[in-house]
Chain A
Amino acid sequence: MNRPIKVLIAKPGLDGHDRGAKVIANALRDAGMEVVYTGLHQTPEMIVEAAVQEDVDVVSVSILSGAHMTLIPRIRDLMNRAGLGEVRLIAGGIIPDADAAVLKQLPGVAALFGPGTRTQDAVAFIAGLFRDRAAHT
């Protein structure tokens, strides 16, 4: 028995641009996933608390504020300390290549999606993380 892939989508920090997060939420829903959407202005602590209670498979954050170098490592660290070491973190938004190269080195940061990402690619990436899980159920 199984349940659909469950993804938390959150907007950490102060920017109020959630169009991208909503587009992704819709695309994941249309791909049969269950998306917990937490809305704007979430602190890293709020995001990780939600990820724990909801027992999601993936945490996905959208950041357009420029604070990604602070927020992403912080969220990853809090996730690890909360016992979510196995849960993958992905991010989308405006993340310059040089920063992306650094962030991708963090263990447990699975992918970064920048502007121009096709929704199918983001969906396929997340589905791909769990392909083997679907096979043995």
Chain B
Amino acid sequence: MSSNDLIQRFLAGEVLAAARVLSVVERGGDEAERVLDALFPRTGRAYRVAVTGAGGAGKSTLANALTRRFREQGVTVGVVAEDPSSPFSGGAVLGDRVRMTNAVGDPGVFVRSIASRGSESGLSALACELADVLDAFGRDVILLESMGVGQVETQIRFTADTVIVVLTPEGGDEVQSLKAGLLEVADVIVVNKSDRPGADEFAADLTAMVGLRDASADGWTVPVVSTTARSDETLGVLADTIARHRAHIDANGRRDARRRDALRARIRLLLEEDLRASARQSATLRERFDGIFERVAAGSISPYRAARELGEFLKAGGHSPR
């Protein structure tokens, strides 16, 4: 099937065509560029919500619960769920569908799992491209579920209109490290599994910490919401909080400004990924690398100097194009 046919079927709302377009984008290269270029003018309508947090915090479960709430309001949902690739084999087990059970049999929900493939942010540049595709496909809300992340994940900020950071009471002693990392990108902080011991104190600590920050920049004080998957009431509070944040950024023009920042960051990230890939694939660089490496291993130059020499070689155009 030509990419024109595929796009026609995609625009006609065919689910299989959407799945294939996502694969074209995953494969990358010229065809991905053609498809993304054709679809980009149709993006921007969907509201994007990113869900991030440590592994096992309950991101998939919350995404599933939010999906159900959106569907009850007649809102269509696209989900992009990312799990890590093995740095050793390149393979991955993508398990987010295990929790995404509310969506089954509902044509208003489309779930796509992707592997991180060496991306080091919680959500890869690819996740954003796939979100664009589902946006162009006409989904009202896109949920982006990151892989489990630890500390500094500022990239997440640029994937969505609302960023939800999911923590659990056990994360209490992580608070110090989170101060300068994940919490800064949160629009909403969730203390999930809040039926566990220590949850109330943890939520209170987080609220106090958030209160220390100057909210005047955009007039939004980051709320701390306690949830448990067993309680519809708590999930309702989360859904309402997202709606409140959406109304907030829509009301004061923050949404457009935020999206401009996001686009800038995405282009930069894509460029960096491209440069990194071409460096990795350059045979001349690899040769050079092996030579310099032996000098380091023999103790004649430092790793620092080796990296700088290789960098100079790259900057001088000393690598073959892909």
- A residues in contact (CB < 8 Å) with B: 1-4, 25-26, 28-39, 45-46, 49-50, 52-55, 82-84
Contact = CB atoms under 8 A, between A and B. Distances in A.
A110 B20 CA distance: 22
A3 B23 contact: yes
B19 A34 contact: no
Interface residues of B, number: 31
A30 B98 contact: no
A93 B26 CA distance: 32
Interface in B227-245: none
A50 B89 contact: no
Interface stretch (B62-70, B107-115, B208-216, B249-257): B107-115
Interface string B116-127: 010000000000
B89 A32 contact: yes
19 contacts: A1-B29, A26-B93, A28-B91, A29-B86, A32-B91, A34-B85, A34-B94, A37-B98, A39-B98, A45-B105, A46-B105, A50-B97, A52-B15, A52-B16, A52-B19, A54-B111, A55-B19, A55-B23, A82-B16
Nearest to A43: B104
Interface centre among A30, A49, A52 (most CB of B within 10 A): A49
Contacts of A1: 27-29, 32
Given A3-B26, A29-B86, A34 B112 contact: no
A3 B25 CA distance: 10
Contact of B27 (A2, A39, A46, A84): A2
Given A46-B105, A49-B104, A55 B89 contact: no
A53 B92 contact: no
Contact of A37 (B26, B32, B85, B95): B95
A35 B104 contact: no
A20 to B, nearest CB: 15
A45 B105 CA distance: 8
Contact of B92 (A35, A39, A45): A35
A29 B19 contact: no
Contacts, number: 80
A38 B95 CA distance: 6
A34 B97 CA distance: 14
Contacts of A3: 23, 26-27, 117
A63 B251 CA distance: 53
Contacts of A83: 16
A30 B113 contact: no
Interface in B52-110: 85-86, 88-95, 97-98, 104-105, 110
B22 interface: yes
A25 B32 CA distance: 29
Contacts of A26: 93
B91 A30 contact: yes
Contact of A29 (B22, B27, B91, B98): B91
A1 B19 CA distance: 18
A25 B97 CA distance: 14
Given A50-B97, A55-B23, A4 B105 contact: no
A50 to B, nearest CB: 6
